[in-house]
Structure 1
Amino acid sequence: MARREQYDDEMMDAEQPQRVRSTVSSVRKQKGRGFRERMDTEDPRNGARGSYDTLETGSGPGPAKSVEGWVIFVTGINEEAGEEDIHDTFAEYGEVKNIYLNLDRRTGYVKGYAMVEYASKKEAEDAIGSMNGQEFLNQPLQVTWCFTKGPARKRGARR
């Protein structure tokens, strides 16, 4: 009988939860947007995280400069065109900083549009004025600004 009582006592001890001392400190760190501390932009530990490039804001509609430069949107590009062909054509109007030419994954051909980036607004305007409607590899091109500002909104207007 003594063995049975000892077994029952051991089982009772196993069923009861043991108290564990809490190790959570009184200061609790929260993660996420709402719990972030104010970031000091002058603090060298933050690096570039607190300061961002900004663009001058003008009033009214018109072209908008991207962070890198002035980007134009070219459509109607032949599917067999290459980046060099586009660069050679648009380099006549100024220094081309970058060309974004997307390819179709399935076929490997050009999707039919490209974005050409210039350093100055004057170069981009010249390219738009000269190349819009011109033929390029037996297809007419449509050239316009890639980024535009919308019309000026009235104060207090909702989206």
Structure 2
Amino acid sequence: MADLDFTVAPEDEEVEDLAEGEAMEEAERSGKQLDPSDLRNTVLAKRKGRGFRDTSRDEEPGGNVRYDSLEDGGGGGAPAAGAPAKSIEGWVLFVTGLHEEAQEEDVVEAFSEYGDVKNVYLNLDRQTGYVKGYALIEYAVEKEAREAVKALDKSKLLDQEIRVTWAFVKQGGRGRRGGGGGGRQ
């Protein structure tokens, strides 16, 4: 296999030479005589842009494009409105009412009692350097996150009441994708 240098884009002549070589090889394999117009069409069929896959297989029968999505956390059926939704990497809790002098260690200590905390994000005020009053806590396991929400919501951390909720929740019933008769007329 030939070594390719990806640091420099091939010149147009090089692309044409590659396409011409591929056309010649195809003609030799099939035993056909190569017509000059076929060679020209092969050279003009350069593909530019993202991927070279067939997008027609990504469309649903109605012409809608099929996108990747996160799977439901629980069994089948429609998700309940307000039910927690998994982020890309885990289950994220939104904590408000944090004391301005709270440190990451304080938050991790309180939340690690209910499971393995994957990540903690404390947003700091640029001018004062103090916590802005909220944090995002990420758990890998939903059960651990649920226990933390139950136990720590309306509890005290550094003598200040905190609120713990889910950062991501599923939308209810009839959303954009949802089935339903309503809509444009």
TM-score of the superposed pair, with normalisation by structure 2: 0.58
Query: Equivalent residue for 1:91?
Result: 112
% identical equivalent positions: 51
Tell me the CA shift for residue 103 of structure 1: 0.9
1:101 aligns with 2:122: yes
SS in 1 for 2:102: coil
Q: 1:155 aligns with which of 179, 182, 185?
A: 179
Q: TM-score, normalised by structure 1?
A: 0.66
Distance in 2 between residues matched to 1:112 and 1:94, nearest whole Å? 23
Structure with bigger gyration radius: 1
Does 2:97 align with 1:76?
yes
Q: State the Cα RMSD in Å.
A: 2.8
| Distance across 2 between alignment mates of 1:138 and 1:28 | 67
> Structure 1: which 5+ runs fail to align?
1-22, 41-51
Tell me which residue corresponds to 1:118: 139
Match for 2:164: what amino acid?
V
Residue identity matched to 1:69 = G
Q: What is the aligned partner in structure 2 of residue 55 from structure 1?
A: 70
Equivalents in 1 of 2:95, 2:52: separation in Å?
Answer: 44
Secondary structure of the residue aligned to 2:95 is: strand
Deviation (angstroms), 1:129 = 0.6
Normalized per residue, the structure richer in strand is 1
1:37 corresponds in structure 2 to 52
In 2, Cα distance between equivalents of 1:141 and 1:67: 25
For 2:151, give the aligned amino acid. S
Q: Which gives a bigger RCO, structure 1 or 2 (Cα 8 Å, sep 6+)?
A: 1
Equivalent residue, structure 2, for 1:17: none
Classify 1:158/1:69 alpha carbon distance in 2 versus 1 (closer, same or farther; 3 Å).
Answer: farther
How far does residue 37 in structure 1 lie from its aligned partner after superposition? 2.7
Alpha-carbon distance between aligned partners in 1 of 2:98 and 2:143, rounded to the nearest angstrom? 23
Aligned to 2:157: 136
